[in-house]
Structure 1
Amino acid sequence: MTHYRRTVLKGIGSAGLIASVVGTASAGSGDARYVVTAGGGAEKRIERVGFAVRHRLADGSVLIVEGPADEGSALKSVGGVRTVARDLRLAFEEPVLETAPDTEDEALYDLQWDKQVTRAGAAHDITTGEGATLAILDTGVDHDHPDLTPNLDADRSRLFRAGEIRDGSGEIEVPVDRNDERKGTTTIEAPLADDVYGHGSHVGGIAAAPRNDAGIVGTAPDASLVSLRVFYYDEVENEDGELVSSLTTTTADILLAIDFAARMGADAANMSLGTPPLPPKSRSEGMHVAYQRVIQSATRRGTLVVASAGNAETDLQHGGQYSLPNSVPGAMSVSATGPNGELSFYSNYGTGEIDVGAPGGAYETTEKSLSGETEWPYPTNFVLSTVPPEYYGGQTHAYFIGTSMAAPQVAGIAGLVRSIDPDLSANRVEQAIAHGAVGSNGRSSPDLGAGRVDALNTVERVSDGR
C-alpha cells in the first residue's frame, strides 16, 4: 500500500477538538445567553424578572436562559438560583499532525492496529453492536461516505447552533480550504448534521464503521450512528486581530446535545472534545456544576457519556487542574495509548482522572512516533479512519492521533455491551468496560486507570454474566 505525505505539520501535536474560549455567546436578539443551575420553582421566578427560559435540562436543574447582558446580578438574586454563568463561545484549535493514505480500493483492516490490539475482530464473533445507538457530538458525520452511510441514522441527527436544535437539510457553511481559515467558507445545501471539517467522521468510523468492504471496520460495526453536530463556522478574531471564519460552539450547545442524546435513548454519547486544563478554583463555578448535572442526568437515563481526556500532556491529579467534560463525575474519561499499549506522548493522565486507556495513536515520544524503524512506522502508528473526501483531496480515509481517537473505541465497546444486555445501566456498562480492561492492577494507574480496553475480554465477561 502506498502512503503519500499530504501532511499538515504545524509543530508536533495531536488531532483533538480542543476548544479555547473566545468570548461570551449572545442570542440572535442581541440578548445575553446564560447557563443557570437552579432548584425547584426557580424557572417561573426567572421569567417574572424579565428573562426567557429557552431550554430545561437535567430535569430542570440546568436552564438555558436569555436576557439583558447587564442584568446578570438580578438573575443571580432570583430565589432558587444556584449558579449563573454567561454562555461561553468556544473556538476549535485545529489538529496539528495528520496524514492521509492513498487507499484506492484496498481493504484496510491490516492497518487497523487499534482494532487488533483491542481484539475487536474476535469480539465480533460474539456481538457486532446490532441494536445499539452511538451519538457522536462533534463536527458532524459525513452523510455520503460509503464507510459510514449504512450505519448513519440521519433522521435522528441534529445540529446544535446558538442555543437552538435544528434538523433536516439546509444551507451549511463549509471551509474553502480546511487548512487555511483565511480563505473563509462557502455555503452548500446539505443535511444540517453533515460533517463540516472531518474530525467527526473520523471519530464515527472508529466507533461504528460497517463491515462492507469499503475500507475499515468500527468497534461496533452494526451499531447505529447519530450525528449531533455541535461545531459550526462563525467569525472570530484570530491572534493577528483579523476576523476569520473558524469552527466554534458554545457551552449551551454542548449541554443541549448531551441532554438530547439521553432523551433519544443513545447507549453512549461520545465527546471527543474538551477544554485545556483549567485551574482548581473553577470547579465550583457555574459551568462545571452545569456539566456535572447534565452528564449525571444522562447517565441516570441510561446513556454512558464517554469523553476524551485531552492532549495537553498534563498531570490532572496533582495541582488541582482538570478539564471539561472528562473530569466531571459521571463521564468516562479516556486516555490515549499507542500500538505497544503505553501512554501516548500527548495524552493527559492522572490517578482518579482517567478511567481507562484506549488506542489513540502514536508512541511515548514524538521521535518514536515519527520514526520509520518501529513495528508500526509513521504514519501507521496513528489511527486510521474515515474522512470526507471533499476535504482530503479525494481520499476517504486518514490517519489522526489524539485522545479524540481513543474515546470512540470505548463508545464502540459500550455499544457491544448494550447489544448483549440492553437492560444494563450506564454505570454497569462502564464497570464492564473497566473490568474487561488489561494491563493495570485495579484503578490505580495514573496513565490508564483500570487499564487499556479489550473488546473481546469485555464482551466475554458480559456474555458469561460476570
Structure 2
Amino acid sequence: MVEHTRREFLTLSGAALGGIAVGSTVTAAESTERFIVKAKGKKLEKSDVTVVHDLSEIGFAVVEGAESEVKRLGKYAPDVVYELDLPTDPITTEDAEEATDEPLYPLQWDKQTQNIPEAHEVTRGEGTRVAIVDTGVAACHPDLKHAVNVDLSRNFTGDGYGAGGPYGGYHGTHVAGIVAANDQNDAGVVGTAPGTEIVDCRVFSPDALASFADILAAVVYSANIGCDAANLSIGAYPVSRRGFGSFYGKVVNKTMSYARRQGTLVVVSAGNDAADLQHDGPVISLPNEAANVLSISATGPIGFAHGEAGLESPYDTPANYTNYGTNAINIAAPGGNYDLSQPAGWYYDMVLNTVALPTFADGEYQGAEYTYSWVAGTSMAAPQVAGAAALVKSTDPGLNANQVRGRLERTADGDYPADKTYYGKGVLDPYAAVTE
C-alpha cells in the first residue's frame, strides 16, 4: 500500500480527506474569555458571567467572562477551538461524467456493497430523525431538500449565517447526503435512510473553526429534540488524561451519557491519523473514545471502476488513513480509500455524495453551487452508521439507543478475527440489521 501523509493527499489530489484536521494541523488555542464550567442555576444567575450555552441537563454551562469570576463558580476549563480541513478544488461529478457518462448510483460502491436498495424494501427510515453536527447542511440541495427540518436546525456558532439553508458547508452537506440523499427523484445519489428527517446542527463557521463547547451544546440539543441519532464526523482529538484533559473527558462523557438516556445514539468518526488509539500514550481521543458513543473506522476498495482488471483490494479493506485500536473502534463502515499511484479515476475508491460550494464576498454569503463530490475519511464512514441506526429505529420504534446500538453491533459482519483492532464488532451490515 502506498503511504501518503494527510496533507500530501489534500495537496496532490484536490479532493478532501473528510474529517477535522488532527495532530499538528489542529489549532488548539485557548479562548481566554470563554469557558466550560461546572455550575448551574442560581450560582450562574448571581455571577458576572454571560451564559452562552446553558447545559444544566448535564450540570455545566458555557460562559464568557473574566477567569477570576469563573473560578468562583466551580471547576472549569477554557473552551478550545479546532480547525477543519476543507477542499479547495473538489473532484465533482462534472469532471467524471466527461469520462464515464454514467448515472451516479453505479458509482456508489458504498451503497451497493451494503445492499441499501434491498434494505429500502424493508424501510427507508421513515419516522426517524438524525442530527448532523458539522459544517452545515445545504437544505436547498436537490437531493436533500426533502429531508432537512429547517425549523429545528440551529447555528451554534453565533456567526449569523443561520442553519438548515440557504448556507450549508461542503463537509456537512456530504455527510448529510450519505445519511439521507433522496432515492426517489430520478437524479443524483442515494442515501442510506432517505426517509429520515435531518436536523442541521452547525458548529463550524465558514472559516472552518469550531469550539469544543458548541459541539457539546449541539449534542445536548439533539437529544432534547428527540433525535434518534446524532452524527459527529469531527475526527479524534488526543488530550491528556490529566489537568484540563481530565475535565474535558468528564464533560464529554456526561454529554454522551445524557444523549443515550434521552434515546439519541451518538455516532462518531474515529479519525484519520492511521493511529493505534489503544497504544497512543497517556492521552484519550475525544469524542470518539468517550462513553456511550459508537466509534467508526473506515474501509474502502482500491481499484473500483479502474477497468476490467478488478479490485486490487476488496471493499472491506481498512482505509490507509483510518485510526484503529482494540476497544477504540466499535464498527467499521465504508469511508473510501485511495492510492495515488493508480491510473486516472483513482478517486472512484472514495465516497460519492452531495456537496455545497458556498461563496462569500466581504463576509456576505453570496449563494452556493449544489453538486456532488468524492470524499474519503472516517467522516464518511460514521454517517453510514447513523443512517443505518435510522433504518433500525424505523423498523422498531420502541428500541432505545442501547438497543439500536446492540442491533448494529450484533448484525455487523464479524468475520475478521485477526483484525478486531480495525473492525471492532465487524463491518456494518444495514440489511442484516433491518431483517434480524
Please tell me the TM-score bracket, short chain as reference: 0.7 to 0.9
Alpha-carbon distance in structure 2 between the residues aligned to 1:395 and 1:144: 8
Q: Tell which deviates more after alignment, 346-355 or 273-282.
A: 273-282
1:295 and 1:191, CA in 2 relative to 1: closer, same or farther beyond 3 A?
A: closer
Is the Cα contact below 8 Å between 1:435 and 1:450 reproduced in 2?
Answer: yes
Alignment of 1:380-459 (within 5 A): 380-388=348-356, 396-440=371-415, 445-459=420-434
Structure 1-normalised TM-score?
A: 0.78
Alpha-carbon distance in structure 1 between the residues aligned to 2:157 and 2:267: 22
Equivalent residue pairs, number: 398
Alpha-carbon distance in structure 1 between the residues aligned to 2:399 and 2:406: 10
Alpha-carbon distance in structure 2 between the residues aligned to 1:193 and 1:97: 23
Alignment of 1:60-139 (within 5 A): 60-76=58-74, 83-95=75-87, 98-102=90-94, 107-139=103-135
Alpha-carbon distance in structure 2 between the residues aligned to 1:74 and 1:283: 17
1:193 and 1:35, CA in 2 relative to 1: closer, same or farther beyond 3 A?
A: farther
| Aligned partner of residue 288 in structure 2, secondary structure | coil
Partner of 2:342: 371
| Aligned partner of residue 384 in structure 1, secondary structure | strand
Is the Cα contact below 8 Å between 1:442 and 1:449 reproduced in 2?
Answer: no
Alpha-carbon distance in structure 2 between the residues aligned to 1:191 and 1:446: 37
Alpha-carbon distance in structure 2 between the residues aligned to 1:118 and 1:10: 31
1:192 and 1:428, CA in 2 relative to 1: closer, same or farther beyond 3 A?
A: closer
1:154 and 1:48, CA in 2 relative to 1: closer, same or farther beyond 3 A?
A: closer
Partner of 1:157: 153
Of 286, 299, 311 in structure 2, the residue corresponding to residue 337 of structure 1 is 299
Structure 2-normalised TM-score?
A: 0.83
Alpha-carbon distance in structure 1 between the residues aligned to 2:58 and 2:283: 29
1:344 and 1:321, CA in 2 relative to 1: closer, same or farther beyond 3 A?
A: farther
1:301 and 1:132, CA in 2 relative to 1: closer, same or farther beyond 3 A?
A: same
Alignment of 1:137-148 (within 5 A): 137-148=133-144
Partner of 1:305: 266
Mapped pair 1:255 → 2:216? yes
Deviation at residue 279 of structure 1 after TM alignment: 3.7
Deviation at residue 117 of structure 1 after TM alignment: 1.3
String of CA shifts for 1:140-193, please: whole Å, max 9, x gaps.
Answer: 11121111101111111110025xxx9xxxx63xxxxxxxxxxxxxxxxx7565
1:270 and 1:191, CA in 2 relative to 1: closer, same or farther beyond 3 A?
A: closer
1:63 and 1:112, CA in 2 relative to 1: closer, same or farther beyond 3 A?
A: same
| Aligned partner of residue 398 in structure 1, secondary structure | strand
String of CA shifts for 1:222-252, please: whole Å, max 9, x gaps.
Answer: 111111111113xxxxxxxxxxxx2212111
Alpha-carbon distance in structure 2 between the residues aligned to 1:223 and 1:46: 38
Alpha-carbon distance in structure 1 between the residues aligned to 2:114 and 2:349: 15
Of 223, 231, 234 in structure 2, the residue corresponding to residue 273 of structure 1 is 234
Partner of 2:5: none
Partner of 1:36: 37
String of CA shifts for 1:311-335, please: whole Å, max 9, x gaps.
Answer: 0111000134432111101111000
**How many percent identity over aligned positions?**
38
Of 182, 190, 196 in structure 2, the residue corresponding to residue 210 of structure 1 is 182
1:68 and 1:448, CA in 2 relative to 1: closer, same or farther beyond 3 A?
A: same
1:449 and 1:295, CA in 2 relative to 1: closer, same or farther beyond 3 A?
A: same
Alpha-carbon distance in structure 2 between the residues aligned to 1:15 and 1:107: 24
Alpha-carbon distance in structure 2 between the residues aligned to 1:277 and 1:95: 24
Is the Cα contact below 8 Å between 1:58 and 1:293 reproduced in 2?
Answer: no
1:49 and 1:191, CA in 2 relative to 1: closer, same or farther beyond 3 A?
A: closer
How big is the alpha-carbon RMSD for the aligned residues of Structure 1 and Structure 2? 2.8
String of CA shifts for 1:323-359, please: whole Å, max 9, x gaps.
Answer: 2111101111000000320110001000100000000
Alpha-carbon distance in structure 1 between the residues aligned to 2:126 and 2:112: 21
String of CA shifts for 1:388-423, please: whole Å, max 9, x gaps.
Answer: 255699561000000000000000000000101111
Alpha-carbon distance in structure 2 between the residues aligned to 1:224 and 1:58: 27
Q: Which amino acid aligns with 1:268?
A: A
1:97 and 1:320, CA in 2 relative to 1: closer, same or farther beyond 3 A?
A: farther
Is the Cα contact below 8 Å between 1:15 and 1:98 reproduced in 2?
Answer: no
Is the Cα contact below 8 Å between 1:11 and 1:96 reproduced in 2?
Answer: no
Deviation at residue 280 of structure 1 after TM alignment: 4.0
| Aligned partner of residue 433 in structure 2, secondary structure | helix
Alpha-carbon distance in structure 2 between the residues aligned to 1:56 and 1:394: 36
Alpha-carbon distance in structure 1 between the residues aligned to 2:213 and 2:237: 18
Q: Which amino acid aligns with 1:160?
A: F
**Structure 1 runs of 4+ with >4 Å offset:** 95-98, 103-106, 190-196, 389-395, 441-444
Alpha-carbon distance in structure 2 between the residues aligned to 1:271 and 1:427: 18
1:331 and 1:195, CA in 2 relative to 1: closer, same or farther beyond 3 A?
A: farther
Of 242, 257, 280 in structure 2, the residue corresponding to residue 296 of structure 1 is 257
1:73 and 1:269, CA in 2 relative to 1: closer, same or farther beyond 3 A?
A: same
Of 55, 58, 62 in structure 2, the residue corresponding to residue 57 of structure 1 is 55
Alpha-carbon distance in structure 1 between the residues aligned to 2:417 and 2:390: 23
1:64 and 1:458, CA in 2 relative to 1: closer, same or farther beyond 3 A?
A: same
Q: Tell which deviates more after alignment, 314-323 or 255-264.
A: 314-323
Is the Cα contact below 8 Å between 1:25 and 1:87 reproduced in 2?
Answer: yes
Partner of 1:241: none
Deviation at residue 107 of structure 1 after TM alignment: 2.9
Q: Which amino acid aligns with 1:67?
A: G
Deviation at residue 206 of structure 1 after TM alignment: 0.4
Is the Cα contact below 8 Å between 2:236 and 2:288 reproduced in 1?
Answer: no
Q: Which amino acid aligns with 1:66?
A: E
Is the Cα contact below 8 Å between 1:25 and 1:250 reproduced in 2?
Answer: no
1:93 and 1:200, CA in 2 relative to 1: closer, same or farther beyond 3 A?
A: same
